[in-house]
Amino acid sequence: MTKPPTRVFLSYAQDSAERIDAVRQLVKALRKAGQAVDVDQDFGVGGPDESWTTWCEAMAAETERVLLVTSKSYYDCWLGRFPPGTRDGATYEAKILANRVYQGGSRIEFLRVVWFDDEDRTHIPPRLRGMQDYHGTRDLDALISWLANGHEPKRSAAANRAISKPTENPFVVNRAVTPPHFVGRELEIREFERYLSSGGGISLVGDARIGKSSLLLAWLSHAETQSHPVVLVDTQKLDGFSWPTIVSAFTAGACSPKNDQCGSADEAANWVGGWVDQQSRKPVVLIDEAEALVRELEVRFFERLRGMLDRFCLVLATRADLPSLFHKHHDTTSPLGNQCITVQLGALKESEAQDLAERAGEHSGWLRYWAGAHPYFLQLLGDCWFVSADEFAALQKLRATARDRLREQWNRLTPGQQRRLRDAAAGSRTQSRSLSDRGLMTEGGAPFGEVLRWWILEELADD
């Protein structure tokens, strides 16, 4: 008995009359070759009996073979948007197809991408760029071969979207970013400049690798250009937390009291205060990884610092806010109180993220799709892109590093935040201010980038 032909579903965005006609001609050619094709153009104005939504969802979820006709509008649908001039069905289909892709793991057997011009091909969803794709007319024979028996031609170098790169790596990972590689954070820089002349305290709060150390260096540079004395303290490099060590760190070695001269919080504060008063302009003290100071030092020292904040600018960079840290380590409220404003560091602004991504040239949209506006993951994927032969290899490197990095962040979230991110990865748009502030969720309620969505759906599947 002859095996019946495998059913084929065409998913596309009806964004132009030319696109609709190109799909119509492709369907005719496939049916002439004996393929059983399902397409929305088979229905009249009234649509299918079960409603368009039900039909679209069933086709995308159940059809054995799917041809995704890519275009800029379809790429928007893949991102969960409803581009103007297209029907909503493409967005419903794309959402279900994306879930099928991720549930299938590394091998995608049911779907292939079809394109009709070079511009369309630049909008292939990044997750699908590691597989064979087909031109809708030139590659018709090869496409029919895949539909009929799964056979595909050997991938060409062009099909793997080989990467053309600049001579020097424009991306920085695993260290603080400095000019000319540093971009953005204009609002935070303006906020800091406001405190330079008046003095005061700034609590800089952000997750690991969100860019706190890089921003501290940018703030340091701005203060120096205005002739302010600046001290940058990295608590990870301190030789202990004795009071003489703390005084030496706060004053950049200008004051180096002996143990018998500085044995208490008050004496240490007196030394720091004396150094502050000797400066011709308000000094700036920037403390990176400041939670160690909160943990190791007496509350009294911070109470004394609060009394000096009209005479110098103090910046404490931490992963958690100061009230939480003082409660955790000392069971008390923050002694800096309302003398210290909080600057929450999260994702880059859209324009800033785009400026960073465009260092990858024509691959900028691919970077944004996977990394969103998250500064670390943009830099990380950009670096993977620079050292890799093609996008597929770059994504393999990204996933290998992202597993540990995202697990580390995940473990710092509350159960409620974890639940909301799981829902967002599954397609629900539930906004969370706390997650948006941290750069883990977009304002629209989606994971910041495809790397986070992939990690939740695949790496947490068995949790």
pLDDT band (50, 70, 90) for residue 87: low
Among 287-301, 362-376, 393-407, 424-438, top mean pLDDT goes to: 287-301
Higher pLDDT, residue 22 or 5: 22
In this predicted structure, what is the pLDDT of residue 159?
A: 43
In this predicted structure, what is the pLDDT of residue 3?
A: 54
Report yes or no on whether pTM surpasses 0.85: no
pLDDT tens per residue across span 175-213 = 999 877 898 999 999 889 888 878 889 999 999 999 999
pLDDT tens per residue across span 160-169 = 444 456 788 9
| Topology of the domain covering 186-344 | Rossmann fold (3.40.50)
Q: Using CA atoms, how far apart are residues 399 and 130, in angstroms rounded to an integer?
A: 14
pLDDT band (50, 70, 90) for residue 127: confident
pLDDT band (50, 70, 90) for residue 157: very low
Read off the pLDDT of each residue in 273-296 and give the average, rounded to a whole number: 96
CATH, domain range 7-160: 3.40.50.10140
pLDDT band (50, 70, 90) for residue 286: very high
Residue 65 has pLDDT above 50, yes or no: yes
Residue 352 has pLDDT above 50, yes or no: yes
Among 39-43, 162-166, 336-340, top mean pLDDT goes to: 39-43
Q: 3-state SS of the chain?
A: CCCCCCEEEEECCCCCHHHHHHHHHHHHHHHHCCCEEECHHHCCCCCCCCCHHHHHHHHHHHCCEEEEECCHHHHHHHCCCCCCCCCCHHHHHHHHHHHHHHHCCCCCCCEEEEECCHHHHCCCCHHHCCCCEEECCCCHHHHHHHHHHCCCCCCCCHHHCECCCCCCCCCCCCCCCCCCCCCCCHHHHHHHHHHHHHCEEEEEECCCCCCHHHHHHHHHHHHHHCCCCEEEEEHHHCCCCCHHHHHHHHCCCCCCCCHHHCCCHHHHHHHHHHHHHHCCCCCEEEEECCHHHHHHCCHHHHHHHHCCCCCCEEEEEECCCHHHHHHHHHCCCCCCHHHEEEEECCCCCHHHHHHHHHHHHHHHHHHHHHHCCCHHHHHHHHHHHHHCCEHHHHHHHHHHHHHHHHHHHHCCCCHHHHHHHHHHHCCCCCCCHHHHHCCCECCCCCECCHHHHHHHHHHCCCC
In this predicted structure, what is the pLDDT of residue 392?
A: 82
Is it true that 7-160 and 186-344 share their CATH fold? yes
Going from N- to C-terminal start, the domains of the chain cover 7-160, 186-344, 356-459
pLDDT band (50, 70, 90) for residue 339: confident
In this predicted structure, what is the pLDDT of residue 462?
A: 67
In this predicted structure, what is the pLDDT of residue 155?
A: 47
Higher pLDDT, residue 174 or 205: 205
In this predicted structure, what is the pLDDT of residue 131?
A: 77
Nearest to 214 by CA among 86, 392, 405, 352: 352
Which of 202-206, 351-355, 375-379 is predicted with the least confidence, judged by mean pLDDT? 351-355
pLDDT tens per residue across span 128-150 = 876 788 999 998 999 999 998 88
